[in-house]
């Protein structure tokens, strides 16, 4: 860090620039604050002269040059006058700018993109943290700055917006105490050089950066280009008006006393391990800032990430930072609110009552703002605030607490991932009732009906059309079940179809989009539509314990039907017949289990029967090939003695007719070759 110029300014005390008396701008010596310690009372430093205009100090012609000052100092004299060893042996670095009079405020600026630009003010002195995207970009002609994927076009910057805002709110080249460039990304420090050259901050803070420390080629972008531009401006500031350029801090022991505001620098990797091991993203080299005043505090988290570039592997940075920062009233969310940051343990540790997010609501995972809908936390996504034409959200610190500027004109919807319903509406940072449709980042449509949360698991009637909002609140398309019936909804969410509709590979019968189920009579035929889905059945189907057969057209079959082998009989109701069936003068037997028509020998109970190949039950004499059988008038196979046309026959226990001499009932009987009983053998 360059401390010689700061020492010089302290030695000079006062300098006359262009005939105007200007107070010393150098930081004074102080010990590191402890919790609860008032840092305001005994710090010694000259105020920044907030009455000076830019023209007052535009030329340092009457000031002692840095070179001349160095000639008056020895090497020992050049030790940091703003450093002092605290009681615990840790070097405390305190820069003091008491100011004169005025409010204590944090301005979070809206930008055209998701960028950080934060103005601090207290008692008429100011500081700038980052500065958003600037105009200009590398053109590839310099080999140090090749054109890479993801570089923001040169025309897309907010230079005029940011510098104009600073001027409008009273920043001049005599009252900007410090500039903090949190890390080497263009959406943070692209305007650093313009801010430094126009407003001449007295101290410039920024961690060192080099492309060689980035292990992920996709994370290089134009980092080196914007960083080098900032460094060039910082060196110009050193040489032109004696600014300090601080690029190394000792842990969390660097503070700036800005009027009534204490600003504590919070390096995310205090040991700078990335200089040895490399890292995937310049975000992981960054510095945040804790701002405290009047017993209230805010943490400005820059692009603090708890994950590496893949957004899955945790690095523990948030846990370490949370321990250093503690509970705060306001949080400028890490990394624009993206899912790489602001994990539940971090949010629980900081427990903010207001969340300012330099990004879009669509970036926001549930954990960042779930306490907004389940508590009383204030939330301002700056993209939505900016869309309402609001230049900034201003947090004013006072003995009464922190108050926020009016951004009630800003309203937005947000789509949560796990909440049900997922969609909520906000106005001025809090859930607010609304009515109408809103499309979330996922592409889903939601409907609000006079509540902050979207309608869910219900029908919505709007513009003469019905819509079904599912359990998440999203407008449904395709198949839905409303708890009573199935419906088919077209791509616009409307119940679609009347009559038969082929959807996918199945036919359905629709009435105003509602799917018919069960039995349907249409055009002279009965159809069965699946009771659960409404899909038209074909082939065999069981309904209420009865079997039916439906053609490939879905039409129910009655009468005889060949099922690709066996024959079946479907009654007039379509129900498959089983057991005995009398049809067209003949008896048929249909299997009691599967309804298949019997042919040949079959048994019903303990009785045997025989059906011809047509299935008709036979009676009388039957030639079974090797034996004759007799089937009674009921079709039952006879056993024992039978009398037929005046002659006696004997059928053995298997029903086969006997011939020759047989021992029957204890006596020998003789039978002819035709089976007729001739008489007793003895």
pLDDT per position as a tens digit, 470-513:
999 999 999 999 999 999 999 999 998 889 999 999 999 999 89
Please give the pLDDT value at position 92.
63
Please check the confidence at residue 31 and state whether its pLDDT lies above 60: no
Q: Show the tokens assigned to 660.
A: 């020759």
Tokens of 233: 């401006």
Q: Quick one: pLDDT at residue 9?
A: 31
pLDDT score for 152: 85
For 442, the token pair is: 């996922």
Would you state the pLDDT for residue 308?
86
Q: Which tokens sit at 376?
A: 């009383």
Residue 662, number of CB atoms within 10 A of its CB: 15
Q: What is the rounded CA–CA span in Å between residue 28 and residue 9?
A: 10
> Residue 35: its pLDDT value, please?
35
Helix axes 223-241, 192-199, angle to 10 degrees: 10
Residue 632 has pLDDT above 50, yes or no: yes
More confident residue, 261 or 9: 261
Cα(120)–Cα(291) distance, integer angstroms: 9
Give SS3 for 82: coil
pLDDT value of residue 309? 79
At 289 the pLDDT is: 98
Q: Are 266 and 325 in contact (CB under 8 A)?
A: yes
Q: What is the pTM of this model?
A: 0.74
Question: Would you tell me the crossing angle of helices 192-199 and 159-168 to the nearest 10 degrees?
Answer: 30
Give the count of beta carbons closer than 10 Å to the beta carbon of residue 109.
27
More confident of the two residues 34 and 680: 680
Burial class from Cβ neighbours inside 10 Å (0-12, 13-18, 19+) for residue 19 reads exposed
pLDDT of 311 strictly over 90: no
- Residue 48 structure tokens: 């920044």
Percent of the chain with pLDDT over 70: 86
Sequence length of the chain is 682
What are the structure tokens assigned to 478, written together?
A: 């395709």
Q: List all residues 6 or more positions away from 646 whose beta carbon is below 8 Å from its beta carbon.
A: none
Q: What pLDDT was estimated at residue 316?
A: 95
Q: How sure is the predictor about 155, in pLDDT bands with cuts at 50, 70 and 90?
A: confident
Q: Which pLDDT band holds residue 45 (cuts at 50, 70, 90)? A: very low
% of the chain exceeding 90 in pLDDT:
81
Contact between 488 and 497 (Cβ < 8 Å): yes
Q: Read off the tokens for 400.
A: 């009464």
431-477 pLDDT, tens digit each: 999 999 999 999 999 999 999 999 999 999 999 999 999 999 999 99
Give the Cα separation of 652 and 671 in Å (integer): 13
Q: What is the predicted pLDDT for the residue at 150?
A: 84
CB neighbour burial string for 492-521, b if at least 16 within 10 angstroms, e if fewer: ebbbbbeeeeebeeebbbbeebbbbbeebe
Tell me what pLDDT residue 61 has: 29
CA atoms within 13 A on the CB side of 286: 30
As given in the structure block, the two tokens for residue 82 are 């703003």
588 touches 580 (CB < 8 A): yes
Is a pLDDT exceeding 90 seen at residue 516?
yes
The dihedral over CA atoms of 406, 408, 410, 411, expressed in degrees to the nearest 10, equals 150
**In the numeric block, which tokens belong to residue 613?**
């190949």
Interval 121-137: pLDDT, tens: 999 999 999 999 999 99
The β-bridge relationship of strands 354-357 and 176-180 is unpaired
Q: Report the pLDDT value the prediction gives residue 89, as an integer from 0 to 100.
A: 41
pLDDT in tens, 349-402: 999 999 999 999 999 999 999 999 999 999 999 999 999 999 999 999 999 999
What is the per-residue pLDDT across 218-268, written as a single tens digit (0 to 9) for each? 999 999 999 999 999 999 999 999 999 999 999 999 999 999 999 999 999
């Amino acid at each position: 860090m360059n401390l010689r110029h700061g020492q010089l300014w302290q030695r000079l005390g006062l300098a006359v620039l262009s005939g105007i008396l200007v107070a010393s701008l150098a930081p004074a010596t102080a010990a590191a604050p402890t919790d609860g310690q008032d840092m305001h009372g005994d710090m010694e430093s000259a105020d920044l002269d907030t009455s000076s205009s830019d023209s007052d100090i535009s030329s340092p012609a009457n000031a002692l040059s840095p070179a001349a000052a160095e000639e008056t100092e020895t090497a020992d004299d050049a030790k940091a006058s703003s450093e002092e060893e605290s009681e615990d042996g840790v070097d405390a670095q305190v820069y003091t700018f008491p100011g004169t009079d005025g409010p204590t405020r944090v301005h979070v600026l809206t930008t055209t993109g998701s960028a950080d630009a934060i103005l601090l003010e207290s008692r008429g002195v100011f500081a700038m943290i980052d500065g958003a995207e600037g105009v200009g970009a590398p053109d590839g002609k310099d080999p140090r700055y090749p054109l890479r994927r993801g570089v923001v076009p040169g025309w897309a910057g907010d230079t005029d917006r940011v510098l104009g805002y600073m001027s409008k709110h009273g920043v001049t080249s005599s009252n900007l105490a410090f500039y903090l460039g949190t890390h080497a990304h263009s959406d943070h420090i692209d305007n650093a050089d313009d801010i430094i050259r126009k407003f001449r901050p007295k101290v410039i803070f920024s961690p060192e950066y080099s492309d060689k420390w980035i292990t992920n080629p996709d994370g290089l972008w134009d980092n080196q280009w914007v960083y080098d531009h900032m460094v060039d401006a910082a060196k110009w500031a050193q040489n032109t008006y004696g600014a300090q350029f601080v690029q190394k801090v000792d842990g969390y022991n660097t503070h700036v006393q800005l009027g009534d505001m204490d600003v504590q620098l919070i390096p995310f990797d205090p040991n700078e391990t990335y200089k040895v091991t490399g890292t995937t993203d310049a975000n992981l080299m960054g510095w945040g800032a804790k701002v405290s005043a009047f017993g209230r505090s805010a943490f400005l988290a820059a692009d603090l990430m708890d994950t590496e570039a893949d957004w899955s592997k945790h690095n523990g940075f948030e846990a370490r930072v949370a321990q250093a920062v503690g509970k705060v009233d306001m949080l400028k969310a890490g990394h624009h609110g993206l899912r790489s940051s602001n994990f539940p343990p971090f949010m629980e540790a900081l427990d903010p009552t207001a969340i300012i997010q330099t990004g879009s609501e669509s970036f926001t995972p549930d954990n960042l703002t779930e306490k907004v809908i389940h508590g009383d936390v204030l939330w301002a996504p700056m993209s939505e605030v900016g869309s309402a034409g609001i230049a900034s959200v201003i947090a004013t610190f006072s003995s009464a607490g922190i108050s926020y500027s009016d951004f009630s004109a800003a309203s937005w919807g947000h789509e949560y991932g796990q909440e049900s319903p997922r969609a909520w509406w906000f106005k001025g940072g809090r859930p607010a009732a609304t009515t109408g449709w809103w499309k979330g980042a996922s592409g889903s449509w939601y409907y609000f009906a006079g509540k902050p949360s979207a309608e869910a698991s219900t029908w919505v009637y709007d513009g003469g059309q019905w819509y079904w909002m599912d359990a998440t609140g999203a407008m449904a398309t395709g198949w839905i079940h409303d708890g009573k019936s199935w419906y088919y909804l077209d791509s616009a969410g409307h119940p679609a179809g009347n009559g038969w509709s082929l959807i996918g590979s199945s036919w359905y019968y629709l009435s105003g989009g509602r799917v018919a189920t069960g039995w349907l009579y249409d055009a002279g035929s009965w159809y069965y539509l699946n009771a659960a889905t409404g899909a038209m059945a074909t082939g065999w189907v069981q309904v209420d314990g009865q079997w039916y057969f439906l053609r490939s057209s879905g039409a129910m079959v009655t009468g005889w039907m060949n099922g690709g082998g066996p024959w079946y009989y479907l009654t007039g109701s379509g129900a498959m017949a089983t057991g005995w069936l009398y049809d067209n003068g003949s008896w048929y037997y249909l299997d009691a289990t599967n309804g298949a028509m019997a042919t040949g020998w079959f048994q019903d109970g303990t009785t045997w029967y025989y059906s011809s190949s047509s299935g008709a039950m036979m009676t009388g004499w039957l030639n079974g090939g090797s034996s004759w059988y007799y089937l009674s008038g009921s079709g039952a196979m006879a056993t024992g003695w039978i009398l037929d046309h005046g002659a006696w026959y004997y059928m053995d226990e298997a029903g086969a007719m006997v011939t020759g001499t047989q021992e029957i009932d204890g006596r020998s009987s003789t039978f002819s070759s035709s089976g007729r009983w001739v008489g007793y053998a003895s």
